[in-house]
Amino acid sequence: MKILITILLICVPAFAQQIGNPTTQQGVIPARGVFAIRNARIVTVSGADIENGTVVIRDGKIEAVGTTVNVPAGAQSIDGRGLSVYPGMIDAGTNMGLVEVPQGANGTVDTSEVGELNPNAKAITAVNPHSAHIAVTRVEGITNTLTAPTGGLISGQAALINLLGTAPKEMAVVPQFALVINYPRVGFGGGGFGGFQAPPNLAETLSNNERQVEQIRKMLRDAEAYGRTLDAYEKDKTLPRPDRNVVLEPLVPYVRGEQPVIFRADREAEIRGALKFAEEMKLKPIILGGNDAWKVASLLKEKNVPVILTGVFSLPSREDDAYDILYENPAKLQQAGVRFAISTGDAGAEVRNLAQYAGMAAAFGLSKADAVKSVTLYPAQIMNVADRLGSIEPGKMANLVVTDGDLLEIRTRIRYLFIDGRPVVLTSRHTELNDAFKNRK
Amino acid sequence: MKKFLLLFVVLVAGSAVHAQPNETLIKNATVLTVTRGTLTNTDVLIRNGKIAGVGKNLTASANAQVIDATGKFVMPGIIDAHSHSMLDTINEGTLAVTSMVRTEDVLNPTDVDLYRGLAGGVTTLNLLHGSANPIGGLNSVVKIKYGRPASEFLFPGAMPGIKFALGENVKRSSSPNTPGVTRRYPNTRMGVEEVIRDAFTRARDYKRTWDEYRAASAKDKNLIPPRRDLQLEPLVEILEGRRYVHAHCYIASEILMLINLADEFGFKIKTFQHVLEGYKVAKEIAAHGAGASIFADSWGYKIEAYDAIPYNAAIMTRAGVVVSMNSDSDERARRLNIEAAKAMHWGDLTEEQALKLITLNPAIQLGIQERVGSIEVGKDADLAIWNAHPFSVYSRVDTTFVDGAVYFDRAQDLARRPELAKERATLEQAEPNKPPARGAQSPNTPRRRPTTRTDDEIDELEERP
Amino acid sequence: MPKVRPRLIVALCTLSLPLALICLCVNGEANAQRSAIDTYAITNARIVTVSGPVVERGTVVVRNGLIAAAGANVSAPPDARVIDGAGMTVYPGLIDSYTNLALPEPAAGPSPAGGGPGAFLLQQAQARPSPGGPNSTQPVGLQPEVMVEDSIRSTGNDIESSRNIGITTALSAPRSGIWMGQSALINLSGQTPQQMIVRSPVAMHVSFTPLRGSYPGSLMGVFAQLRQMMLDAQRYRDSIQIYERNPRGIRRPETDRSLAALVPVIEGRMPVIMLANSEREISRALDLAAEFKLRLIVAGGREADRVADRLAKQNVPVLLSLNLPRRTTAAMPEADPEPMRTLRDRVAAQQTAAKLVKAGVRFAFQSGSLANITDLMGNANRTIENGLTPADAVRAFTIWPAEIFGVANQLGSIEAGKIANLTVTRGDLFDRNSRVTHVFIDGRPVDLRPTTPAPGAGERPSGRGGLSGTWTLNVNLGQGDRGATLTLQQEGDRVTGSIAGVLGSGEISNASVSASDEVRFTASLNIEGQTKEATFTGTVSANEIRGTVAVVGLAPGSFTATRVRPN
pLDDT band at residue A196 using 50, 70 and 90 as cut-offs: very low
Chain B residues with beta carbon closer than 8 angstroms to that of A360: 335, 393
Chain B residues with beta carbon closer than 8 angstroms to that of A197: 445
Dihedral through CA B166, CA B168, CA B173, CA B175, nearest 10? Answer: -70
- In this predicted structure, what is the pLDDT of residue C493? 64
Dihedral through CA A358, CA A361, CA A367, CA A373, nearest 10? Answer: -30
| CA distance to partner chain C, nearest, from residue A305 (Å) | 21
C372·B225 Cβ contact <8 A: no
pLDDT band at residue A3 using 50, 70 and 90 as cut-offs: very low
pLDDT, tens digit, for every residue of B157-212?
999 999 999 999 998 776 777 777 778 899 999 999 999 999 999 999 999 999 99
- In this predicted structure, what is the pLDDT of residue C2? 41
Nearest CA in chain A to B297: A350
The enclosing domain of C508 has a CATH number of 2.40.128.120
C502·A200 Cβ contact <8 A: no
| CA distance to partner chain C, nearest, from residue A24 (Å) | 31
A208·C336 Cβ contact <8 A: no
Range of the structural domain that residue C474 is part of? 469-565
C342·B174 Cβ contact <8 A: no
Is residue B128 pLDDT above 60, yes or no?
yes
- Report yes or no: A150 at the C interface, CB cutoff 8 Å: yes
Chain A residues with beta carbon closer than 8 angstroms to that of B112: 319
Give a yes or no: residue C157 inside a domain.
no
- In this predicted structure, what is the pLDDT of residue A75? 96
Find chains touching chain C: ≥3 CB pairs under 8 Å: A, B
- In this predicted structure, what is the pLDDT of residue A202? 74
pLDDT band at residue C19 using 50, 70 and 90 as cut-offs: very low
Average pLDDT of the segment spanning C413-435: 94
DSSP-derived letter for residue C450 is -
- Measured CA to CA, the distance from residue C327 to residue B435 in angstroms comes to 6
Choice between B318 and B448, residue whose per-residue pLDDT is larger: B318
Nearest to B206 by CA among B224, B233, B187, B186: B233
Give a yes or no: residue C541 inside a domain.
yes
- In this predicted structure, what is the pLDDT of residue C120? 34
Give a yes or no: residue C310 inside a domain.
no
Is residue C235 pLDDT above 50, yes or no?
yes
- Measured CA to CA, the distance from residue B56 to residue B27 in angstroms comes to 9
Nearest CA in chain C to B460: C533
- Would you call A207 helix, strand, or coil by DSSP? helix
- In this predicted structure, what is the pLDDT of residue C478? 67
C347·B432 Cβ contact <8 A: yes
- Report yes or no: B88 at the C interface, CB cutoff 8 Å: yes
pLDDT, tens digit, for every residue of B144-158?
999 999 999 999 999
Q: Which helix (H) or strand (E) holds C180?
A: strand C179-182
Q: How many CB atoms lie within 10 A of CB C308?
A: 20
pLDDT, tens digit, for every residue of A366-396?
999 999 999 999 999 999 999 999 999 999 9
Number of domains in chain C: 1
% pLDDT > 70, chain C: 83
Dihedral through CA C142, CA C145, CA C149, CA C151, nearest 10? Answer: -50
- Report yes or no: C529 at the A interface, CB cutoff 8 Å: yes
pLDDT band at residue A132 using 50, 70 and 90 as cut-offs: very high
B393·A360 Cβ contact <8 A: yes
Find chains touching chain A: ≥3 CB pairs under 8 Å: B, C
Give a yes or no: residue A168 inside a domain.
yes
- Report yes or no: B137 at the C interface, CB cutoff 8 Å: yes
pLDDT, tens digit, for every residue of C252-298?
999 999 999 999 999 999 999 999 999 999 999 999 999 999 999 99
Give a yes or no: residue C508 inside a domain.
yes
Q: A with B: how many residue pairs have Cβ under 8 Å apart?
A: 137
Give a yes or no: residue C77 inside a domain.
no
- Measured CA to CA, the distance from residue C376 to residue C96 in angstroms comes to 10
Closest partner CB to B451 (pick from A315, A410, A413): A315
Fold identical between B2-76+407-425 and B78-372? no
Which of B436-440, C167-171, C533-537 is predicted with the least confidence, judged by mean pLDDT?
B436-440
Nearest CA in chain A to C484: A208
Is residue C239 pLDDT above 90, yes or no?
yes
- Measured CA to CA, the distance from residue A42 to residue A40 in angstroms comes to 6
% pLDDT > 70, chain B: 89
Chain A residues with beta carbon closer than 8 angstroms to that of C498: 199-201
Range of the structural domain that residue A157 is part of? 89-389
- Measured CA to CA, the distance from residue A202 to residue A243 in angstroms comes to 42
Is residue C486 pLDDT above 80, yes or no?
yes
Chain C residues with beta carbon closer than 8 angstroms to that of B137: 220
- Report yes or no: B418 at the C interface, CB cutoff 8 Å: no
- Measured CA to CA, the distance from residue B157 to residue B367 in angstroms comes to 8
Q: How many Å is the maximal CA-CA distance in chain A?
A: 80
Give a yes or no: residue A84 inside a domain.
no
B443·C219 Cβ contact <8 A: no
Is residue B103 pLDDT above 50, yes or no?
yes
Give a yes or no: residue C80 inside a domain.
no
Chain B residues with beta carbon closer than 8 angstroms to that of A437: 279-280, 282, 315
Q: What does the DSSP assignment read for A325-381?
A: TTTSHHHHHHHHT--EEE----SSTTGGGHHHHHHHHHHTT--HHHHHHTTTHHHHH
CATH number of B2-76+407-425: 2.30.40.10
- Report yes or no: A411 at the B interface, CB cutoff 8 Å: yes
Q: A with C: how many residue pairs have Cβ under 8 Å apart?
A: 122
Give a yes or no: residue A437 inside a domain.
no
Is residue C487 pLDDT above 70, yes or no?
yes
**Averaging pLDDT over each range in B377-381, C336-340, C433-437, which range is the top one?**
B377-381
- In this predicted structure, what is the pLDDT of residue C449? 73
pLDDT band at residue B16 using 50, 70 and 90 as cut-offs: very low
Is residue C464 pLDDT above 60, yes or no?
no
C338·B433 Cβ contact <8 A: yes
Choice between C408 and B441, residue whose per-residue pLDDT is larger: C408
Chain B residues with beta carbon closer than 8 angstroms to that of C279: 110, 149
Give a yes or no: residue A204 inside a domain.
yes
Is residue B49 pLDDT above 60, yes or no?
yes
Nearest to B387 by CA among B195, B180, B200, B119: B119
Check if the beta carbon of residue A337 is closer than 8 Å to that of residue A298: no
Q: How many CB atoms lie within 10 A of CB C79?
A: 10
- Measured CA to CA, the distance from residue C444 to residue C423 in angstroms comes to 11
Average pLDDT of the segment spanning B441-464: 39
Chain A residues with beta carbon closer than 8 angstroms to that of C524: 192-194
pLDDT, tens digit, for every residue of C302-348?
999 999 999 999 999 999 999 999 887 777 777 788 899 999 999 99
A430·B309 Cβ contact <8 A: yes
Buried b (16+ CB within 10 A) or exposed e, B297-324: bbbbbbbbbbbbbbbbbbbbbbbebbbb
- In this predicted structure, what is the pLDDT of residue C347? 96
- Report yes or no: A439 at the B interface, CB cutoff 8 Å: no
Nearest to C163 by CA among C238, C101, C113, C109: C101
- In this predicted structure, what is the pLDDT of residue C195? 94
Nearest CA in chain C to B1: C386
Is residue B419 pLDDT above 50, yes or no?
yes
CA C294 to chain centre: 21
CATH 3.60.15.10, applies to B78-372: no
Closest partner CB to B338 (pick from A323, A348, A356): A356
Q: Which helix (H) or strand (E) holds A255?
A: helix A252-255
- In this predicted structure, what is the pLDDT of residue B387? 98
Nearest CA in chain A to B117: A323
Chain A residues with beta carbon closer than 8 angstroms to that of C554: 106
Chain A residues with beta carbon closer than 8 angstroms to that of B447: 193-194
Average pLDDT over all residues of chain C = 84
- Measured CA to CA, the distance from residue B378 to residue B358 in angstroms comes to 20
Number of domains in chain A: 1
- Report yes or no: C534 at the A interface, CB cutoff 8 Å: no
Q: What Å distances lie between residue B88 and B12, B99, B319, B410, B442, CA to CA?
A: 22, 18, 38, 28, 19
| CA distance to partner chain A, nearest, from residue C301 (Å) | 24
Check if the beta carbon of residue B337 is closer than 8 Å to that of residue B391: yes
Nearest CA in chain C to B439: C326
Give a yes or no: residue A79 inside a domain.
no
The enclosing domain of A189 has a CATH number of 3.20.20.140
- In this predicted structure, what is the pLDDT of residue C156? 78
- Report yes or no: B299 at the A interface, CB cutoff 8 Å: yes
Pairing outcome for strands C179-182 and C204-206: antiparallel
Give a yes or no: residue A137 inside a domain.
yes
- In this predicted structure, what is the pLDDT of residue A200? 57
CB contact residues (below 8 A), chain B span 164-183, against chain A: 168, 173-174
Cis omega (within 30 of 0) for bond into B149: no
Q: Which of C336, C340, C344, C508 to mutate to test the interface with A (most CBs of A within 10 A)?
A: C336
Chain B residues with beta carbon closer than 8 angstroms to that of C327: 432-437, 442
- In this predicted structure, what is the pLDDT of residue C518? 79
* First-to-final CA distance of chain A: 21
Residue ranges per domain, chain B? 2-76+407-425, 78-372
Choice between B394 and C546, residue whose per-residue pLDDT is larger: B394
